[in-house]
Amino acid sequence: MAKTNKNKPKDIQDDFKYSEEQISELIRWFKGKDLPKSLRLDSGTYIPDVRRTVSLMSEIVENKMSHAFESTAEQLFKIKALCEQQSGSETTTDDETQKS
């Protein structure tokens, strides 16, 4: 169940979109995976160090399960989906990724 702080405004206290189980499963998925060095998440988001980014974002989502951090969880799910798409294909270099 999502953790909430009753002293925060209602919009931040709203239920977190994901369950603790979903977040735990997502974080477990990343552990031990051979992640690409870099990744273009979308047209405006380039991640030069995927492993470090996933580690930091996972820590945020695990410790701050609130509506305010939902977009961080959504980005982790998007990173996972892109990594799954790229699995089996060779990781692109930073220069190749930035040209995309």
**What's the confidence (pLDDT) of residue 88?**
57
At 13-68, the pLDDT tens digits run 456 688 889 999 999 999 989 999 999 999 999 999 999 999 999 999 988 777 77
pTM for this structure? 0.67
* 36 SS3 class: coil
- Separation between Cα atoms, residue 70 and residue 75, nearest integer Å: 9
Kindly state whether residue 2 falls inside one of the protein's structural domains: no
Residue 12: pLDDT above 60? no
- Separation between Cα atoms, residue 35 and residue 7, nearest integer Å: 39
CA distances from 3 to 19, 61, 62, 80, 99 (A): 10, 11, 10, 24, 41
Residue 11 or residue 72, greater confidence: 72
Residue type, 4: T
What is the domain range of residue 60? 11-99
Are 43 and 99 spatial neighbours (Cβ–Cβ below 8 Å)? no
Kindly state whether residue 6 falls inside one of the protein's structural domains: no
Kindly state whether residue 64 falls inside one of the protein's structural domains: yes
Q: Which two tokens stand for residue 56?
A: 């930091």
Kindly state whether residue 5 falls inside one of the protein's structural domains: no
**What's the confidence (pLDDT) of residue 17?**
82
Q: How many domains does the chain have?
A: 1
